[in-house]
Chains A and B, each alone.
Chain A
Amino acid sequence: MAATCLRTTLQVVKTLKISDVGLQRVPVHQGIPRQIVALSQLLHVRYGSFFNRKDSDENWDSIRSVSNQGRKRGRASRGKLARKINLDSGKLGEGITGLVFPGLSKPINKDTASKDLGVQKSLTGPIERSTDPKKAGSNKRKNRLDPYDRGFRGDKLPGKKVDPPDPVDGYTFPGFEAYALEAKFVSNMVASQGKVYKHLVVVVVGNKKGLIGLSLGKGTTVKAALKSATNKAAKQLTYINVYNQHTIWHKFAEKFHQTTVIAEPRHLGFGKKCHPVLNILCELAGIKDIHITVEGSKRNYLNMARAFMVGLQNQKTHQEIADELGQNIVEYHVSRDYYPVTLASPSTDVEKMDTPKAVDFTLDSYHFGNRTRYMKPRKVRFYQKLAGYKKKQAMDYKRRNQSGAMIERMVLGLQPEFKTMK
């Protein structure tokens, strides 16, 4: 009787299964109360009422259940019910060392009963943990994406790579990639149905060699919306001229509704310094080095992408600028000691202009529509005026070359020991 009671309690509380052999009944003597000895283990027994007799699920239902009437009134919705707690979560298992605790971490069998039932090592040895971080650990970790594929919205769609477009008339779009920029839930009022909800997705398609397409699609599911958006984008491809296969031809500023995009070309190896949406656009167009600032509304990704696309399409080559102005385009660089290099001169059928230009004329102001860009002065922080900061600056100025000089000394053998500067 007591043994069955123990078994049920353990099942309820810890969900352990204990075979009969594992339990031994001590013969009853007069004057001595009944004892249960689980083979050198004294177990705590709780004499209770219903929870000893009932199943664990039934026990849980007693707290979690709501009547049908109550369910209709919303007493079961929005997390009002008590949560079922997994009591197995803290269960003893095989650790890294592979120790076995019969009766706790393993069921007690016939073989183990005859032998020592104390702590013993498993025959298989320690468990081998896989080094692959994706496979090890809980389910959450399994689904974790690589940082480069994660996008810019956590585990949501924006910024993630999606399936490439479907073939059109036998053309399979080789080398094309598609990215989702925006995904949201939109609604529309219809007379017969009332509010009708739909998914809206903005997708860019490109081949990293100058062809790029932008479009948006709607659908009842996200998958349907993505498919329509990618296929539409693939049919609206435009060619973008990339300067020296790494950057844009010149500076430009483009406004679309409330969003202004200001882009500047940069040297080889600079990288892309821009908004994550424009980063994807640049990558798909084949632009590697660029500096972009976005002013105005930064919430509407579609408008931002459109502004940038329009700016890219309106670029002029050096030859076109020279033809338009009727003068030569000349490049100066420090590396060449400012030796003038003519990039383009007006073609023969164009009228050459020898009239003097306006005093404040520069090529940048020409690209910005006769305006000059206002560069905000850097803010002086409050602590920069304090005496302590100036003192630190002075100390830093003193030591500015010491780390390099120390390495040079060590190379030349003048300072054999490595001593960190204080």
Chain B
Amino acid sequence: MAALRKNMHLLKKLNVVSSCVCKPASLKHLHTSAPVLSVGDPLHYFMRDDVQKILEELTGFDVKKTFYQRAQYANKEPNYKVLSDVELEEEIEKAKEIKARRLQMPPFMDIRKPKDDLLSDDPDIAPALTSKYVFIDISDNLRRIPVESKRNVVCRHEDGKLKVADWEQSDRVVRMYYPVAGRNVFIPKMFEEEQLEKILTHENYIDILERACVQFEPDSSDFIRITHRIYEHIAQNGDFDVLHCTRFYGPMVFYFAWFNKIEPLLMHMMNNDHLTSAVHLINLKCMLHKEPSKSGNLFMIIRDYCLGKVKKEYKKDLKIALNDLEKRLEIRAKRMESEAKESNKEKVTG
């Protein structure tokens, strides 16, 4: 029992940040169901090293944005320390773990398969049953139960059938027996479709995503519905910068690439002169849809993509963005040339 308590304590500590643990050890047990899309299992692609590398590069790091102010700690005072250069390096080395945890991407998964396995059928005991009975395995076996959602939950129905409990039942029972800070037994009202629409503003994106991460499993239908709705809302309003440098930027980019909707994000990158990230995005899309990745001049790759096969709705806007980008690049090149000439002159005269 003591071991269990210790284990729970660890989990709680982790869950201050999130319950969506995305490390290779726990990933083995998070296999998704059969592919819904024709392309394949998204998690298989999401966890590939080359994809992860691109997503991490696209996310970036900024102290203010990555470590955004959380509401519950707004009234706390900071501590100050005086450190020499050597001590500071040690501290930063230690803090790499914090940074990695803060940038841990919640996995992009498919909806899990519904459970409805019949274990046994005993109609003889049906008269004695007045309600459903739910049983949960609460043993402390880390090998068998690496994640709380993998606990065996069965349900004896009133007609005497013993079935594996469906996801809604099993989730509720697990939440009740294994409480986690910030996770409610009943799903909060804000995640209902009607209420979610009301609170969708650019200030609330991160808060909703954080809370959804704590409340749901990454492959539950609710989590997928909520995250996808927020990504769509961001694409509509062009608020991509809100999630930049946070752990939700990677899954968002992956979502756009997976469902072939990268055009709004690409235009946003072109308008802000982020050429390398634009090329990364195009390459990611090619990777997921089994097309050959491109290399060479950054601008040429972008131009080829914009003038190639694109959806009709975005064709006009993409062309305008491309022309603007070309003009800006030309002006910059001219300025660079003139500056180089001046510096050369100064060198000669000096």
- Chain A 364-422 interface residues, beta-carbon cutoff 8 Å to B: 366, 408, 411-412, 414
B27 at interface by CB-CB < 8 Å: no
Give A192 to B76 CA distance when docked, in angstroms.
Answer: 64
How many inter-chain residue pairs (CB < 8 Å) link A and B?
A: 91
A239 at interface by CB-CB < 8 Å: no
B81 at interface by CB-CB < 8 Å: yes
A329 at interface by CB-CB < 8 Å: yes
- Chain A 316-365 interface residues, beta-carbon cutoff 8 Å to B: 321, 325, 327-343, 345, 352-354, 357, 361, 363
Q: Chain B nearest CB: distance from A352 CB in Å?
A: 7
Asked if B95 and A329 sit within 8 Å, CB to CB, the answer is no
Give A331 to B75 CA distance when docked, in angstroms.
Answer: 16
Interface range for B: 20 to 34
Asked if A267 and B80 sit within 8 Å, CB to CB, the answer is no
Output the residue of A325, A338, A343 with the most chain B CB within 10 A: A338
Contact with A along B69-88 (1 / 0, CB 8 A): 11001111111111111101
Asked if A331 and B78 sit within 8 Å, CB to CB, the answer is yes
Known: A337-B98, A339-B98, A363-B80. A330 touches B91 (CB 8 A): yes
A363: which B residues are within 8 A, CB to CB? 80-82
Asked if B102 and A332 sit within 8 Å, CB to CB, the answer is no
Asked if B85 and A329 sit within 8 Å, CB to CB, the answer is no
B91: which A residues are within 8 A, CB to CB? 330, 340
Grouping DSSP codes into helix (H, G, I), strand (E, B) and loop, the B interface class, with mixed when no group exceeds half, is mixed
Q: Chain A nearest CB: distance from B222 CB in Å?
A: 16
A147 at interface by CB-CB < 8 Å: no
Asked if A342 and B189 sit within 8 Å, CB to CB, the answer is no
B63 at interface by CB-CB < 8 Å: yes
A332: which B residues are within 8 A, CB to CB? 78-81
Asked if A270 and B63 sit within 8 Å, CB to CB, the answer is no
Q: Chain A nearest CB: distance from B184 CB in Å?
A: 8
Q: Which residue of B lies closest to A336 (CB)?
A: B67
B329 at interface by CB-CB < 8 Å: no
A352: which B residues are within 8 A, CB to CB? 84-85
Contact with A along B105-117 (1 / 0, CB 8 A): 0000000000000
Find A335's partner among B70, B84, B95, B189 (CB 8 Å cutoff).
Answer: B70
Find B76's partner among A267, A328, A343, A412 (CB 8 Å cutoff).
Answer: A267
B184: which A residues are within 8 A, CB to CB? 408
Give A270 to B77 CA distance when docked, in angstroms.
Answer: 11
Asked if A330 and B77 sit within 8 Å, CB to CB, the answer is no
A333: which B residues are within 8 A, CB to CB? 73, 76, 78-79
A266 at interface by CB-CB < 8 Å: yes
Asked if A412 and B101 sit within 8 Å, CB to CB, the answer is no
Known: A330-B83, A361-B82. A335 touches B67 (CB 8 A): yes
Find A328's partner among B78, B82, B189 (CB 8 Å cutoff).
Answer: B82
Q: Chain A nearest CB: distance from B244 CB in Å?
A: 17
Give A342 to B78 CA distance when docked, in angstroms.
Answer: 13
Asked if B67 and A339 sit within 8 Å, CB to CB, the answer is yes
Asked if A330 and B76 sit within 8 Å, CB to CB, the answer is no
A133 at interface by CB-CB < 8 Å: no
Known: A267-B77, A411-B189. A340 touches B88 (CB 8 A): yes
Give A187 to B86 CA distance when docked, in angstroms.
Answer: 65
Known: A329-B80, A340-B91. A335 touches B86 (CB 8 A): no
Asked if B101 and A337 sit within 8 Å, CB to CB, the answer is yes
Asked if B82 and A339 sit within 8 Å, CB to CB, the answer is no
Give A284 to B91 CA distance when docked, in angstroms.
Answer: 40
Give A299 to B83 CA distance when docked, in angstroms.
Answer: 42
A338: which B residues are within 8 A, CB to CB? 95, 98
Q: Which residue of A lies closest to B189 (CB)?
A: A411
- Chain A 223-276 interface residues, beta-carbon cutoff 8 Å to B: 265-270
Give A341 to B62 CA distance when docked, in angstroms.
Answer: 11
Q: Chain B nearest CB: distance from A23 CB in Å?
A: 79
Output the residue of B77, B81, B82 with the most chain A CB within 10 A: B82
B39 at interface by CB-CB < 8 Å: no
A268: which B residues are within 8 A, CB to CB? 74
Q: Which residue of A lies closest to B17 (CB)?
A: A337
Q: Which residue of A lies closest to B68 (CB)?
A: A335
Q: Which residue of B lies closest to A352 (CB)?
A: B85
Q: Chain B nearest CB: distance from A158 CB in Å?
A: 32
Give A269 to B76 CA distance when docked, in angstroms.
Answer: 11
Give A361 to B83 CA distance when docked, in angstroms.
Answer: 11
Output the residue of A265, A268, A340 with the most chain B CB within 10 A: A340
Interface residues of A (CB under 8 A from B): 265-270, 321, 325, 327-343, 345, 352-354, 357, 361, 363, 366, 408, 411-412, 414
Report 26 cross-chain contacts, Cβ distance below 8 Å, ordered by A residue: A266-B77, A267-B74, A269-B74, A325-B82, A327-B82, A327-B85, A328-B85, A330-B80, A330-B81, A330-B88, A332-B81, A333-B79, A334-B76, A335-B67, A335-B74, A335-B76, A339-B63, A339-B67, A339-B102, A340-B81, A340-B91, A343-B80, A352-B85, A363-B80, A408-B184, A412-B186
Task: Sort A-B residue pairs by CB-CB distance and give the 6 closest, nearest first.
Answer: A336-B67, A335-B73, A333-B78, A332-B79, A363-B80, A334-B73
